[in-house]
Amino acid sequence: MRLVARFAKDLIDSFEVIDIYDNDIKRYTLSKDNPTLETLTIKYPAALWMEKKINDEFGIIFKNSFDTRNTIKHEYFPKNIYPMRKSFSKKEIEFCDFKEYKYEEIEGDSLFVVPVGPIHAGIIEPGHFQFSQAGEEILHLEVRHFYKYRAIEKMCEGKKPLDILQIISRVSGNESIAYQVAYRDILAQSSGIEIPKSLKQKYAILLELERIIHHLTDLGFIPNDAGFGSALAFMSAASEEARRAMKKLTNHRFGFDTIKSELDLDYNILNEYLKKLKDDLIFFRDWIEDIPSVWDRFDTTGVLSKKNAIKYGAVGLVARASGVKIDCRDNDFYKSFGYEMQVGKKGDVGERFTLRIKEIFNSIEMIERMQTDSSESIELKDFKDGEYHSFIESSIGELFIYLSIKNGVVDRLYIRDPSHINWQLFHTTIYKDIIADFPLINKSFDLSYAGNDL
């Protein structure tokens, strides 16, 4: 049984902790006088950040956890404030006195620590990486995020389901379509409406185009971090063309506010773009495959073993590159349009790079076969109170959204981005690799900071 998510709700008189598994749901009601629950981290290491986030947001204590340090509450964050409780309504908070965060470090003769971040030299978002080093070799890495706590789940509470569409669309820019499709599915469930197949096809077309854009960007940056900048130049142009195609189809480069109750797509624009993309991708694949110096850096670097992928509940391409067959698209709908799961074995940078190329070709095939002239639409309204959830395979992996509606408004929104899982296993991939390969391995995972730091 695979753990998908662990999150909490404030029921006014008590707390409820909900565990979502791939084939089961478990619930626990906790007294507010002493809210404690047994940790899941012994069996499910990926529960760690989930539990620490619950502790910071609700004040619930998880017994026997191997790490009780704060997550969202950084050095100046008041410790006695729980922002996800219903009683919390402050617009501003006062900083507390500085409290040092104790990083995990390996100590010994000739060993030293290299801190990286949270502010970086590039355009990425804040995140801290603490390395314990023996010369160039990495002995241990601690990943610390949650520097940009945006309180997205809190700000949605009390709003009508349709009033948070723009927020959902902007949770994570590289997964905007995925977030919108997942939330649209939840709204349809609440309305008691089945989304027509032709409309699902149009949603899926844009979802695959978003996957293509993300993969193209990665295919440029991964070789660049191995010292081959020409690949970045080539793929930057390719990803820019993809963004322009997205804008022509949706009026926005990231597809914000696109997934609606009816959708018209210009297939002439789409097919013209896909034809050029196929030619460019064939050239790029043959070009990169013939550069030994690149593969010398790719092969056996940043290995995620299948054992660790399963242990930490890895999702998305990262899991599939390590031989784990997991993909929300593995269903009759996608298979009817030519979906084929791309699975690797080695779990290294090279495997994750190669799988991206294979997935793009498969996405192109599906987009070509999904095109439909039907103009079916739906009307979403009269949302019924209750609990709803949805799974979508974003470009990064399995995205999970939970929504509770009470008295016609959002009572609890919970989001578990695929990055929230895969960031926690990242440290297992770099032992004995050189620190110069950290950017390369990191980019081969290409996880979202925004999707993690809600």
pLDDT digit string, tens, across residues 110-120:
999 999 989 98
Give me the pLDDT at residue 449, please: 93
Question: At residue 43, does pLDDT exceed 90?
Answer: yes
Average pLDDT over residues 22-43: 96
Average pLDDT over residues 354-361: 98
Percentage of residues in the chain with pLDDT exceeding 90? 90
Give me the pLDDT at residue 376, please: 87
Give me the pLDDT at residue 301, please: 97
Give me the pLDDT at residue 79, please: 82
In angstroms, rounded to a whole number, what is the distance separating the alpha carbons of residues 188 and 174?
24
Give me the pLDDT at residue 219, please: 97
What the block records as the tokens of 162 is 């349709």
Are 181 and 203 in contact, with CB atoms under 8 Å apart? Answer: yes
Give me the pLDDT at residue 92, please: 85
- Between the alpha carbon of residue 428 and those of residues 124, 142, 180, 304, 441, the distances in Å are 22, 10, 32, 7, 11
Average pLDDT over residues 76-89: 92
Give me the pLDDT at residue 381, please: 86
Percentage of residues in the chain with pLDDT exceeding 70? 100
Give me the pLDDT at residue 210, please: 98
In angstroms, rounded to a whole number, what is the distance separating the alpha carbons of residues 434 and 445?
17
In angstroms, rounded to a whole number, what is the distance separating the alpha carbons of residues 132 and 106?
6
Q: How big is the chain, counted in residues? A: 454
DSSP state of 451: H
Give me the pLDDT at residue 91, please: 83
- pLDDT confidence of 123, banded at 50, 70, 90? confident
In angstroms, rounded to a whole number, what is the distance separating the alpha carbons of residues 215 and 322?
18
Question: At residue 194, does pLDDT exceed 90?
Answer: yes
Q: Which of these, 310, 301, 284, lies nearest to 429 by C-alpha position?
A: 301
Average pLDDT over residues 405-415: 98
What the block records as the tokens of 211 is 């996957």
Tell me how many helices (H) and strands (E) the chain has.
Answer: 15, 11
Between the two ends of the chain, the Cα-to-Cα distance in Å is: 26
- Please state, rounded to an integer, the average pLDDT across all residues of the chain: 95
In angstroms, rounded to a whole number, what is the distance separating the alpha carbons of residues 3 and 41?
11
Are 172 and 448 in contact, with CB atoms under 8 Å apart? Answer: yes
- Between the alpha carbon of residue 355 and those of residues 224, 362, 376, the distances in Å are 18, 10, 34
Strands 409-416 and 128-134: unpaired
Average pLDDT over residues 63-86: 93
Average pLDDT over residues 138-155: 94
- pLDDT confidence of 338, banded at 50, 70, 90? very high
Give me the pLDDT at residue 20, please: 98
Average pLDDT over residues 146-151: 92
Domain residue spans in the chain? Answer: 3-102, 152-452
Summarize pLDDT for 304-333 with one digit per residue, the tens.
999 999 999 999 999 999 999 999 999 999
Residue by residue, DSSP assigns 425-443 as HGGGG-TTSBGGGHHHHHH
CATH architecture observed for domain 152-452: Orthogonal Bundle (1.10)
Question: At residue 94, does pLDDT exceed 80?
Answer: yes
Contacts within 8 Å (CB) and 24+ apart, 282-287? 284/219, 284/231, 284/234, 284/235, 284/238, 284/357, 285/357
In angstroms, rounded to a whole number, what is the distance separating the alpha carbons of residues 114 and 72?
23
Average pLDDT over residues 102-108: 90
Question: At residue 253, does pLDDT exceed 90?
Answer: yes
Average pLDDT over residues 217-245: 96
- pLDDT confidence of 121, banded at 50, 70, 90? confident
The burial of 448, by beta-carbon neighbours within 10 Å (0-12 exposed, 13-18 middle, 19 or more buried), is given as: buried
